[in-house]
Amino acid sequence: MKLLHMLKKDIRVVFERDPAARSILEVILCYQGLHAIWLYRIAHWFYQHKFILLPRLISNFARFLTGIEIHPGAKIGPGLFIDHGTGIVIGETAELGCNVTLYQGVTLGGTGKEKGKRHPTIGNNVVVSSGAKILGSFSVGNHAKIGAGSVVLKEVPAYATVVGIPGRVVLMKGKRINKPSIPDETLKNKVYSDALKKELAEELDVDLAHDKLPDPELDMIKGLLTKVKDLEEKVANLEKK
């Protein structure tokens, strides 16, 4: 019954997060992300029971069939959804919490040849957008969002939105954590209020709106242009005097 319940949940997750899903039969036959997860579960069972070669063979077969590589040693919680998953790689010591969403081309990898824990730990309700790379043995907090194409090399707090190479936190629960223009002394000394800290502790559902991300490089360029314009005006006024 536990296995049947898990399979039903895997199917239900597809309907919850993919509006293109039309029928249970279509999901079972046509969703390679679902196939990869089910084959991983089989390989993981053998891996836990100290088999060595068989789980790796199952993993390789899953990669050939779906284009998704999940090491049988990875620990994956319930509710994982893989959308258009070609190119996804999940390393041996990676850990994923509940209701994680991964899009095409995501890598949860390591950064060297170190032994032991070398892959990231992903919290609950995290969304990792297309092409993002999370490399290292750090944690990504609950409800975090990783922007498309980002390369994350250090820990991500809960409710944060990370973009860029290297990845940096630009939003906290949908609110900017700093100004897009050149920072001033007030910004450098900014302290969050108790009300905001309370908001950050609240629970949220999975937020799939990973297309609504800021562009910090564009914001900085706009800030520099504004600053240059102000300086030009000051120079013009001085010349008139």
Q: What is the DSSP string of 84-151?
A: S-TT-EE-TT-EE-TT-EEETT-EEE-SSS--S--S-EE-TT-EE-TT-EEESS-EE-TT-EE-TT-E
User: Do 80 and 63 have their domain in common?
Assistant: no
Residue 240 lies in a domain: no
- pTM value is 0.70
User: Do 81 and 67 have their domain in common?
Assistant: no
User: Do 110 and 43 have their domain in common?
Assistant: no
- What is the spatial distance between Cα 181 and Cα 13, in angstroms, rounded to a whole number? 40
- What is the spatial distance between Cα 175 and Cα 128, in angstroms, rounded to a whole number? 19
Question: Exposure string (b/e) for 206-230, b if CB count within 10 Å is 16 or more?
Answer: bbbebeebeeeeeeeeeeeeeeeee
Residues in CB range of 153: below 8 A, 6 or more apart: 111, 135, 136, 166, 167
User: Do 38 and 12 have their domain in common?
Assistant: yes
CATH number of residue 56's parent domain? 1.10.3130.10
User: Do 66 and 157 have their domain in common?
Assistant: no
- The distance in angstroms from the start CA to the end CA of the chain is 86
Question: Count of CB atoms within 10 A of residue 152's CB?
Answer: 27
Phi and psi at residue 141, to the nearest 5°: -70, 165
User: Do 30 and 86 have their domain in common?
Assistant: no
Residue 93 lies in a domain: yes
CATH number of residue 199's parent domain? 2.160.10.10
User: Do 12 and 51 have their domain in common?
Assistant: yes
User: Do 68 and 85 have their domain in common?
Assistant: no
User: Do 83 and 180 have their domain in common?
Assistant: yes
- Among residues 73, 104, 128, the one where a domain terminates is 73
pLDDT of residue 7: 83
pLDDT of residue 173: 72
Residue 173 lies in a domain: yes
Residue 202 lies in a domain: yes
User: Do 115 and 153 have their domain in common?
Assistant: yes
Residue 220 lies in a domain: no
What is the overall mean pLDDT for the chain? 81
Positive or negative: CA dihedral 182, 186, 190, 194: negative
pLDDT of residue 237: 82
User: Do 107 and 179 have their domain in common?
Assistant: yes
Residue 94 lies in a domain: yes
Domain that holds residue 95: 74-186+193-214
pLDDT of residue 197: 44
- Among residues 13, 38, 73, the one where a domain terminates is 73
pLDDT of residue 57: 95
Token pair listed for 55: 């789980």
- Among residues 48, 73, 98, the one where a domain terminates is 73
Q: Provide the number of structural domains found in the chain.
A: 2
Residue 231 lies in a domain: no
- What is the spatial distance between Cα 241 and Cα 229, in angstroms, rounded to a whole number? 19
pLDDT of residue 46: 94
- List per-residue pLDDT tens for the chain, 241 residues long: 477 788 888 898 899 888 888 889 998 998 999 999 999 999 999 999 989 899 999 999 999 999 999 999 999 988 899 988 889 999 999 999 999 999 999 999 988 777 788 999 999 999 998 899 999 899 998 999 998 888 999 899 888 888 888 888 888 776 776 544 444 444 344 444 454 444 444 433 445 455 555 566 666 787 788 888 888 888 888 887 7
User: Do 97 and 29 have their domain in common?
Assistant: no
Interval 34-59: pLDDT, tens: 999 999 999 999 999 989 899 999 99
- What is the spatial distance between Cα 32 and Cα 125, in angstroms, rounded to a whole number? 21
Residue 11 lies in a domain: yes
pLDDT of residue 200: 40
